[in-house]
Copies of this chain bind each other. A is one copy, B any other.
Amino acid sequence: MKVVVSLAELWEVRRFLNSPVGLVPTMGYLHEGHLSLVRAARQECACVVVSIFVNPTQFSPTEDLSTYPRDLERDLDLLEKEGVDLVWTPTKEIMYPADFQSWVLVEEVTKPLEGAMRPGHFKGVTTVVAKLLNAVQPQKAFFGQKDAQQSVVIRQMVKDLNYPVEVKICPTVREPDNLAMSSRNAYLQPAERQAATVLSRALFAAREAYQNGERNANRLRKTMQAVFNQEPLARVQYISCADPNTLQELDLIEDHALLSVAVFIGKTRLIDNILLP
């Protein structure tokens, strides 16, 4: 496994990677969710590239950039064991030099949900993902369903900007008690960690209602809200039942729906989602 930092080193090694090349973009502090993406890439691609970069431009000034958890040594050990070919760990000076001034913006699908709660977040995400795709030129790129809106945004960007890359979305990996894996779970105090299961419990309650025939989106939102109401440590930011492609809120579920929630547990902001059916 090669580990490179500069663009020049990356391009020197990239030339010798067989196609198809699979890219797994990460912000490090890897968990089983990331590793499931790496395994999917390993399965489908001749060579696997993982990027590790805590992207400052997708954090707002009030967010947790400085405290975002990092452990590069452990990350590299894990990736070595998964048979990764190349790890790219650029610095922020490499990604955003002093005269940096170019951005990729996706308009409609970045507006609701995370885009509404985290202004500027997706501008940072689409810009860094465009940079990663340009630099690595993979044939496939792997993202987690956990960041549901991010997958929609990336797919839209890849289609709009003619990237010759297949975007693969892999299922959310959950802890035994169904908490979706996230690097931010490391912030949770023990009582909060217990309370955090409320996200999946709310989503699964709505899914059960859906499976019992409920198609009214508002009643599904209320089912979720009722579960959150039982959890004193939870402060809901949004509860959504939306079209999985346009992310527009639904009145009635006709075919598919994306149920998604954003919730503060103490000071930690968590998100989760499920696709229906």
> Are A104 and B102 in touch, CB under 8 angstroms?
yes
A230 at the A/B interface (Cβ < 8 Å)? no
A183 at the A/B interface (Cβ < 8 Å)? no
Measured between C-beta atoms, what is the minimum distance from A12 to chain B in Å? 11
Binding site for B on A (CB under 8 A): 7, 11, 99-109, 126-127, 130-132, 134-135, 137, 156-157, 160-164
Measured between C-beta atoms, what is the minimum distance from A114 to chain B in Å? 16
Task: For the A-B complex with A101-B109, A134-B134, A135-B164 known, give 16 more contacts whose Cβ atoms are closer than 8 Å.
Answer: A11-B164, A101-B106, A101-B107, A102-B104, A102-B106, A102-B126, A102-B160, A102-B161, A104-B104, A127-B161, A131-B162, A132-B162, A134-B161, A134-B162, A134-B163, A137-B137
User: What are some 18 contacts across the A-B interface (CB < 8 A)?
Assistant: A99-B108, A101-B106, A101-B108, A101-B109, A101-B160, A102-B104, A102-B107, A102-B126, A102-B160, A105-B105, A130-B130, A130-B161, A131-B161, A132-B162, A134-B162, A134-B163, A134-B164, A135-B164
> Which residue of B has the minimal Cβ distance to A126?
B102
Task: Tell me which residues across on chain B come within 8 A of A161, comparing CB atoms.
Answer: 102, 104, 127, 130-131, 134
How far is it, in angstroms, between the C-alpha of A160 and the C-alpha of B95 when the chains are bound?
A: 8
> Which residue of B has the minimal Cβ distance to A245?
B99
Task: Tell me which residues across on chain B come within 8 A of A164, comparing CB atoms.
Answer: 11, 134-135, 137
Query: Which interface residue of A7, A102, A106, A109 has the most chain B CB atoms within 10 A?
Result: A102
> Are B160 and A100 in touch, CB under 8 angstroms?
yes
How far is it, in angstroms, between the C-alpha of A108 and the C-alpha of B97 when the chains are bound?
A: 14
Measured between C-beta atoms, what is the minimum distance from A96 to chain B in Å? 9
